[in-house]
């Protein structure tokens, strides 16, 4: 993995955002957007696959990693506006974007509110939100709310990975930023819960690839098909047996497909 350049910018409303950049400076830009309640470390095991071809950009969402301060009313749209500021600060006028889970929701809003910034879009294990989306099974939500400590971690781990994944939970970068306060975690929950792009999704004009695991209980695969129906001309790739972290567990299969799509669109 290449060394990441790290810097902090101040946003339109005075909030500090931590940014990480790696890969060849002259290469096309790739913005990576992580899941809910996670810092840029979500991408630590994956960004090296993209660095040879792309200038990879990540940032810590408000309330995670190095982006800390008083939280105002937040949304996937406000996080998309943060992403646009990050790209502008770096002098990037157009990027390809790959968002997973809540990052996929933010990516949708970025493509809708800042269409000129986006040359291609990959939406991983995400949903369109609102009443039209397919909710996770009730028992999954109940277990996530009820379990604590090690039991919660182990259950969350089982939602992300299949039993064939032999890396221990403590080494996963996908299970949340444990430095977050209860207030910060609750704010991120609200951001995901209030996302609803159903009505606007047909506006997305950027070439779009939708990727999902068909054994995802955190975010059922039916949501991938709904996105595919709503985004004109989109492509869809379903990973057999993949759970919510399929993009890491099956990276050797999935990333070449994503790289091929993004390279053709950048």
Confidence of residue 88 (pLDDT cuts 50, 70, 90): very high
Q: Using an 8 Å Cβ cutoff, are 191 and 74 in contact?
A: yes
What is the pLDDT, as a whole number, of residue 265?
83
What domain count does the chain have?
1
Backbone angles phi, psi at 72, to 5 degrees: -95, -165
pLDDT above 60: residue 1: no
Percentage of the chain exceeding pLDDT 70: 99
| Segment 91-108 mean pLDDT | 98
The enclosing domain of 116 has a CATH number of 3.40.50.1820
Q: Using an 8 Å Cβ cutoff, are 148 and 129 in contact?
A: no
**What tokens appear for 167 in the block?**
């890396």
Q: Beta strands 208-213 and 95-100: pairing type?
A: unpaired
Q: Give alpha helix (H) positions in the chain.
A: 76-89, 102-113, 138-146, 149-160, 182-194, 222-230, 246-249, 251-265
Q: Is 201 helix (H, G, I), strand (E, B) or coil?
A: helix
Q: Using an 8 Å Cβ cutoff, are 152 and 140 in contact?
A: no
| Segment 45-54 mean pLDDT | 96
What is the pLDDT, as a whole number, of residue 2?
60
**What tokens appear for 263 in the block?**
């390279």
What is the pLDDT, as a whole number, of residue 266?
75
Mean pLDDT score across all residues of the chain: 96
Spatial CA neighbour of 207 closest among 154, 260, 130: 260
- C-alpha separations of 87 from 20, 80, 90, 186 in Å: 11, 11, 5, 27
Residues paired with 33 in a beta bridge: 99
What is the pLDDT, as a whole number, of residue 110?
98
What is the pLDDT, as a whole number, of residue 4?
84
pLDDT above 60: residue 64: yes
Kindly report, residue by residue over 146-184, the tens digit of the pLDDT.
Answer: 999 999 999 999 999 999 999 999 999 999 999 999 999
What is the pLDDT, as a whole number, of residue 25?
95
pTM to 2 decimal places:
0.97
Range of the domain at 247: 5-265
Give the position of tokens 């790209």. 87
């Amino acid at each position: 993995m290449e060394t990441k350049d790290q810097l902090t910018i101040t946003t339109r409303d005075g909030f500090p955002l931590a940014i990480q950049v790696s890969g060849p400076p002259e290469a096309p830009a790739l913005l990576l957007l992580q899941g809910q309640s996670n810092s840029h470390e979500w991408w630590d095991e994956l960004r090296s696959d993209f660095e040879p071809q792309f200038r990879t950009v990540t940032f810590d969402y408000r309330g995670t990693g190095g982006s800390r301060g008083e939280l105002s009313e937040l949304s996937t749209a406000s996080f998309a506006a943060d992403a646009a500021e990050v790209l502008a600060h770096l002098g990037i006028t157009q990027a390809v974007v790959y968002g997973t889970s809540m990052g996929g929701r933010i990516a949708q809003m970025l493509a809708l509110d800042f269409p000129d910034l986006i040359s291609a879009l990959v939406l991983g294990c995400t949903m369109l939100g609102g009443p039209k989306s397919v909710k996770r099974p009730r028992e999954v939500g109940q277990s996530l709310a009820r379990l604590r400590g090690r039991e919660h971690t182990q259950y969350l781990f089982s939602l992300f990975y299949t039993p064939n994944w032999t890396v221990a939970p403590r080494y996963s970068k996908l299970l949340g930023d444990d430095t977050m306060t209860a207030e910060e975690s609750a704010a991120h929950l609200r951001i995901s819960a209030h996302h609803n792009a159903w009505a606007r999704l047909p506006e997305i004009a950027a070439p779009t690839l939708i990727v999902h695991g068909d054994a995802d209980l955190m975010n059922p695969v039916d949501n991938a098909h709904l996105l595919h129906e709503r985004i004109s001309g989109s492509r869809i790739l379903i990973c057999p047996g993949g759970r919510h972290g399929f993009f890491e567990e099956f990276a050797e299969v999935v990333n070449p497909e994503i790289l091929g799509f993004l390279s053709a669109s950048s």
